[in-house]
Amino acid sequence: MIKKGETLPQHPDISLWLDSYNDIFSDFDPRATEVRAISVDFLDEAKRAAVDKDEGLALNLLVPKGKRDRKSEPIIEHRLRNHFERHHKILKKETRTLIRTGVLFVLAGVLIMAIAAYVLVNYEGKTVLASFLLILLEPAGWFFFWEGLDIIIFKPKDKKAELSFYKKLSHAKINFSSY
C-alpha cells in the first residue's frame, strides 16, 4: 500500500501493444523482415515510453494471441537490436565529431586572435595592410572562438535525448507476449 508522501515505484519496462508484427516496420518498405525499415511511428512510441526510464529495461511487445509467429520473433528481435545498436553508434560518432569540430573552431579562433595581436603589437598604424588585417582578423577570431564553444556546449545537447534512447534500447531485453 502506498502511504501519503510516497511515490509509485517506476517500472523499468516498456510495453507496446501491436496489432501485428507489421506495426514495427514501415508500411512503405515491402522488403523481407530481415532488412525492412523500422517504422517511425513505432520508434516515436518507444521514445515516448523510454523518456523517463533508466537503463536495464525490457521492451515488451504485445501481439494478439492469434497473430503470434514464434519463428519470426528471433528475426524481429535481431532486426530491432541491430537497428538500436547501429543508431547508437552513429549518434555517438556524430557527437564526438561535433565536439572535435568545436575544439578545432575554438583553436582556430585563438590562433586567429593571436595573429591579430601580433599584427596589433608590431604593425598597428604603420600600413594600410596591417589595419586591414586587424579589421579582418579580430571578428574572425571571435567568430571561430564563440562558434566553437556553441558547437561544444549546445549541439551535443540536441542529440542527448536520442542518444539516451538508443543506448537504453540497444541494451534492453526484447520480449514478445500475447494478449
**How confident is the model at residue 43, as a pLDDT?**
97
Neighbours of 103 (CB within 10 A): 14
**How confident is the model at residue 124, as a pLDDT?**
78
Per-residue confidence in pLDDT tens, the chain, 179 aa: 434 555 444 456 899 999 999 999 999 999 988 899 999 999 999 999 999 888 889 999 999 999 999 999 999 999 999 999 999 999 999 999 999 999 999 999 999 999 999 999 998 778 999 999 999 999 999 999 999 999 999 999 989 999 999 999 999 999 999 98
Structural domain boundaries enclosing 29: 14-178
Residue 8 lies in a domain: no
Residue 174 lies in a domain: yes
**How confident is the model at residue 78, as a pLDDT?**
95
- Per-residue burial over 19-48, b = 16 or more CB atoms within 10 Å of its CB, e = otherwise: eebebbbeeeeeeeeeebebbeebbebbbe
Q: How long, in residues, is the chain?
A: 179
The radius of gyration of the chain's CA atoms, rounded to the nearest angstrom, is 26
Residue 81 lies in a domain: yes
Residue 4 lies in a domain: no
**How confident is the model at residue 52, as a pLDDT?**
87
Residue 67 lies in a domain: yes
The alpha carbon of residue 155 and the mean position of all alpha carbons in its chain are separated, in whole angstroms, by 11
Residue 138 lies in a domain: yes
**How confident is the model at residue 56, as a pLDDT?**
87
Residue 23 lies in a domain: yes
Output the pTM of the full model. Answer: 0.79
Residue 6 lies in a domain: no
- Total domains in the chain come to 1
